[in-house]
Amino acid sequence: MAWKLLSLSALTTKSPKVTSFEIPTCLFLKFIKHLCSSSVLNLGHVVSLDHGLNLDSFYASLIDNSTHKRHLDQIHNQLIVSGLKHNGFLITKLVNGSSNLGHICYARKLFDEFSHPDVFLWNAIIRGYSRSNLFRNTIEMYGLMRREGVDPDGFTFPYVLKACTELLDFRLSCLVHGQVIRYGFGPDVFVQNGLVAMYAKCGNIGMARVVFDGLNDRTVVSWTSIISGYAQNGEALEALRLFNQMRNTDVKLDWIALVSIVRAYGDVDDLEQGRSLHGCIIKMGFEDEPDLLISLTAFYAKCGQVIVARSFFDQMKTSSVIMWNAMISGYAKNGHAEEAVDLFREMITRNIKPDSVTVRSAALASAQVGSLKLAQWMDDYVSKSEYASDIFVNTALIDMYAKCGNVESARIVFDRASEKDVIMWSAMIMGYGLHGQGWEAINLYHAMRQAGVCPNDVTFIGLLTACNHSGLVREGWELFHCMRGFGIEPRNEHYSCVVDLLGRAGYLDQAYDFIMKMSIEPGVSVWGALLSACKIHRHVTLGEYAAKKLFSLDPYNTGHYVQLSNLYASSRLWDHVAHVRVLMREKGLSKDLGYSVIEINGKLQVFHVGDKSHPRSDEIYNEIQRLERRLKEIGFVPHTESVLHDLNYEEKEENLNIHSERIAVAYGLISTAPGTILRITKNLRACVNCHSAIKLISKLVEREIIVRDANRFHHFKDGLCSCGDYW
Ligand code: ZN
Ligand code: ZN
């Protein structure tokens, strides 16, 4: 086909020569491009001079090649002059052209000026809004179109579905799905892909799967939607199963699909598979794709490979908040709390805006660091930020304060939060539980019920823990039995709280009967609770039974051996103690080394057993000896024997008094003003000897000493501990 066209001079001068000649299409298009970039274009001449020209095609080409709004404006004016303003085809082209150039308002103006738009023009404006990320307007236009009695077609639905997806509006999604079926576009592959993505993103993965399973022609887009749907809905295993299924088809993988799959491997903590996929990614040449790099960073961070993750992170040098989140939460979740906090501070100094996820990860990390000063800094940061009323962030702050040993500050955050959901109430209840404030927890639970909030399974874990740490047997028992009334099936965590509660109070037989009547298979935590109760009450036969169960369920956990050995030690069965040591050696298990951390003026100081590395070591040991003398004066007798054989503790015969927490206490006393509260964190459980000693020390020096051990908080004050010697 050839185009009849005027000479160039005819187009650009006021008095054109009327010459026409034929040129091939490709040349014509080049010519149009040239016209569009020249500002002297005078379209009037083109169209009025040669009526042989196909005007629709001519204008269409002009619109397609327009690069500025003023071109479109000029063309539109020309259409009006030439009486073509009712040409639906060209107006549709113009609307599409304007929205492509980012002028959606201009597109809308053109649309509004056109009377009785057909489906093509409606589609153009719907598509325009959708591509401009104005999803409410997309839906609004779709509604208008239907009210005008124009039926949607296969090109309408993908954009409408995309809008539903982005708006996460499930009700609307169902409505549109119904219309898809009514108008007979059920089998359209684009529409179907849109449906899969929509349901998956709205969190209804079941519906997404139904549509996906009904697809006859699955493209990489459909696979990606369903796989990422499962990944995002926390069903990583199903995502990976589908991924393997996809690999058996001839659908070609793209990097968008890989982003979700890498993420899924991170969620299931499958380092090996993820690594081999990383190899494939390199082979396929996608390793520079930024989104993939972010998901690889998150993957390695989640799998605990923080060094690898950090190298990706450093390579990228990006200000993408997702990347920072991946790294910060990776650090926080893998016990590198200080790195997480450092990175968070760096992010703030670099003026990269954290989002709610970042702030939550940073609060989680601060809780792990256990520094109250840091916790206060976080709180300060949040209250000045836009997240001050973010319900998730506030919940993280409550948890953080509780774990940093300051349940009062946790309560302040709780009280000031304007919006409270069951998770926040539960976090506060859990905080009281951790600190052995059973009644506070129960009172808060009643307040929560009064506020009309329905408890969930976590609320009950908090309550049972609280009762447990306060020895409230009857209350705990009653609470456990009202769980089912809220439709909550107890899990192992709930059962083990009850076993602990009964066991510690000495109702060992009842605890055993309770386990036997459980509606689920008793797990490690349940038998562990029974074993530790047996240790307290020196019930060797039942303890051995529990230990046997534990060794078969969880053979490589040092803790169980230690507990059994402690049970024997408490009953003075030294041969048995020795036997457990042999067992452990055979299995290649060694006990964890104990250490304690104390915060002085915002600086954390770590002490190991018998630690003499501190520059003020001499002063510390003088203080220890001074305290020791004073303890003896008031009649303190060390629990030498049990401690000596107690595998849980960092014992050495001559080192009884220098367990790490004792060094931390001494250092705290010489480094702070009288009356200052000492806050110590210990990685293992506190031993009986240290517990009794610190109780008395708190009275001798008139200080409050707060020790967080592996299990709970001990608030030592006036010679007593908040745990009531019950830990
Ligand atoms: Zn100790
Ligand atoms: Zn205590």
Residue 647 lies in a domain: yes
Q: How many domains does the chain have?
A: 2
587 and 601 share one domain: no
**Would you say residue 718 has pLDDT above 80?**
yes
Residues 602 and 716 in one domain: yes
Asked if the structure places residue 702 within a domain, the reply is: yes
pLDDT tens for 189-245 read 888 888 888 888 887 888 889 888 888 788 888 888 888 888 878 788 888 888 888
pLDDT for 26? 57
What distance in angstroms lies between residue 665's CA and the mean position of ligand 2's atoms? 15
Note whether residue 705 is domain-resident: yes
Q: Tell the burial category of 615 from Cβ atoms under 10 Å away from its Cβ (0-12, 13-18, 19+).
A: exposed
Residue-wise pLDDT for 616-660, tens only, equals 999 999 999 899 899 989 888 877 655 545 544 444 445 555 788
- Domain end point (choices 537, 565, 591): 591
How high does pLDDT run on average in the chain? Answer: 84
Q: Say if strands 603-608 and 678-682 run parallel, antiparallel, or are unpaired.
A: unpaired
Q: Is beta strand 713-717 parallel, antiparallel or unpaired with respect to 720-721?
A: antiparallel
Do 564 and 607 sit in the same domain of this protein? no
693 CA from centroid of ligand 1 (Å): 9
Using the mean position of ligand 2's atoms as its centre, give its distance from the Cα of residue 704 in Å. 12
Find, among 199, 125, 189, the residue nearest to 162 by Cα. 199
Asked if residue 660 and residue 604 are part of one domain, the reply reads: yes
Task: Flag whether 537 is in a domain.
Answer: yes
Task: Measure the CA–CA gap between 621 and 610, rounded to whole angstroms.
Answer: 10
Q: What is the pLDDT of residues 374-433, one digit of tens each?
A: 899 999 999 999 899 899 999 999 999 998 889 999 999 999 998 899 999 999 999 998
72, 101 contact by CB (below 8 A): yes
pLDDT at 655: 52
Give the tokens for residue 214: 């009904």
Could you tell me the distance, in angstroms and rounded to a whole number, from the CA of residue 662 to the centre of ligand 1? 7
In this predicted structure, what is the pLDDT of residue 45? 46
Structure-token pair, residue 321? 């908040």
Instruction: Looking at the structure, tell me whether residues 648 and 679 fall in a common domain.
Output: yes
**Ligand positioned closest to the Cα atom of 469:** 2
Statement to judge: residues 558 and 633 lie in one domain? no
Span 479-520, pLDDT tens digits: 999 999 999 999 999 999 999 999 988 999 999 999 999 999
pLDDT for the residue 705: 95
Q: Is 575 in the same domain as 601?
A: no
Nearest ligand to the CA of 687 is: 1
In this predicted structure, what is the pLDDT of residue 530?
94
The CA 214 to ligand 2 mean position distance, Å, reads 61
Collect contacts of 216-224 with beta carbons under 8 A, ≥24 apart. Answer: 216/187, 217/189, 218/249, 218/251, 219/189, 219/193, 219/251, 220/251, 220/252, 220/253, 220/254, 220/257, 221/193, 221/197, 222/189, 222/192, 222/193, 222/196, 223/251, 223/257, 224/254, 224/256, 224/257, 224/260
* Domain identity same for 533 and 622: no
Strand partners, 706: 679, 715
Report the alpha-carbon distance of residue 201 to residue 61 in Å, rounded.
38
Domain final residue, candidates 591, 615, 636: 591
Residue 272's pLDDT is 85
With 90 as the cut, is the pLDDT of residue 260 above it?
Answer: no
Ligand 2 centroid to Cα of residue 691, in Å, is: 6
Q: What percent of the chain has pLDDT over 70?
A: 90
Q: Which ligand is nearest to the CA of 707?
A: 2
Tell me how far apart the alpha carbons of residues 443 and 447 are, in angstroms, rounded to a whole number.
6
Rounded to the nearest angstrom, the distance between the alpha carbon of 434 and the centre of ligand 2 is 12
Query: Could you tell me if residue 40 is inside a domain?
Result: no
Q: Which ligand has the minimum distance to the alpha carbon of residue 711?
A: 2
Asked if pLDDT for residue 10 goes beyond 60, the answer is no
The residue behind tokens 């367990």 is: 659
In the reported structure, the alpha carbon of residue 727 is separated from the centroid of ligand 1 by a whole-number distance in angstroms of: 14
66 vs 390, more confident: 390
Q: 296: CA distance to ligand 1 center in Å?
A: 43
pLDDT of residue 495: 96
pLDDT of 326 over the 50 cut? yes
271 CA to middle of ligand 1, Å?
38
pLDDT band at 32 (very low <50, low <70, confident <90, very high): low
Residue 461 in 3-state DSSP? helix
Query: Which tokens is 275 given?
Result: 């690594």
Q: Final residue of a domain: which of 532, 556, 591?
A: 591
Cβ contact 464:476 at 8 Å: yes
- Determine the distance from the C-alpha atom of residue 523 to the mean position of all C-alpha atoms in its chain, rounded to a whole number: 27
At residue 509, the pLDDT reads 94
Contacts of 560 (CB under 8 A, 6+ apart): 528, 531, 547, 550, 551, 554
Range of the domain at 669: 595-721
CA distance 580 to 321: 50
Query: Residue 685: nearest ligand to its CA?
Result: 1
Here the CATH number for the domain that contains residue 537 is 1.25.40
Which residue is it, tokens 């069965």? Answer: 573
Query: What spacing in Å lies between the alpha carbon of 538 and ligand 1's midpoint?
Result: 20
Q: Are residues 583 and 523 in the same domain?
A: yes
Assess if residue 365 is contained within a domain. Answer: no
Q: Using an 8 Å Cβ cutoff, are 492 and 522 in contact?
A: yes
- The one-letter amino acid at 85: K
Query: pLDDT tens-digit profile of 535-560?
Result: 888 899 999 999 999 999 988 888 88
Residue 417 covered by a domain: no
* Paired tokens of 80: 């009006």
Phi and psi, residue 522, nearest 5°? -65, 135
Helices (H), 214-336: 220-232, 236-247, 255-267, 271-284, 290-302, 306-316, 321-333
Taking only the tens place, the pLDDT of each residue in 431-478 is 998 888 999 999 999 999 999 999 999 999 999 999 988 889 999 999
Is the Cβ–Cβ distance between 369 and 341 less than 8 Å? yes
Q: Which of helix, strand or coil describes residue 608?
A: strand
Distance 436 CA to ligand 2 centre (A): 9
pLDDT of residue 376: 93
State in Å: Cα 712 to ligand 2 middle.
8
Ligand 1 centre distance from Cα of residue 48 (Å): 100
Q: Are 501 and 587 in the same domain? A: yes
Residue 626 sits in the same domain as residue 535:
no
pLDDT at 37: 56
Identity of the amino acid at 655: N
Q: What is the pLDDT of residue 12?
A: 44
Residue partners of 457: CB distance under 8 A and separation at least 6? 483, 488, 490, 491, 494
Three-state SS for 2? strand
Cα dihedral angle (465, 469, 474, 480), rounded to 10 degrees? 10
Helix axes 422-434, 391-403, angle to 10 degrees: 0
- Position 704 confidence tier, pLDDT thresholds 50, 70, 90: very high
CB 426 within 8 A of CB 455: yes
Ligand nearest to the CA of 657: 1
Write the pLDDT tens digit of every residue in 154-185.
888 889 888 888 888 878 888 888 888 888 88
> What's the gap in Å between 727 CA and the centre of ligand 2?
6
* Same domain membership, residue 707 and residue 626: yes
Q: What burial letters (b/e) apply to 117-153, b meaning 16+ CB within 10 Å?
A: bebbbbbbbbbbbbbbebbebbbebbeebeeeebebb
In total, the chain counts a number of residues equal to 727
pLDDT of residue 31: 63
Q: In this structure, is residue 143 part of a structural domain?
A: no
Q: How far is the CA of 120 from the centre of ligand 2 (A)?
A: 75
Tell me which ligand sits closest to the C-alpha of residue 709: 2
> How far apart are the CA of 680 and the centre of ligand 1, in A?
13
Nearest CA to 367 out of 410, 408, 326, 325 is that of 410
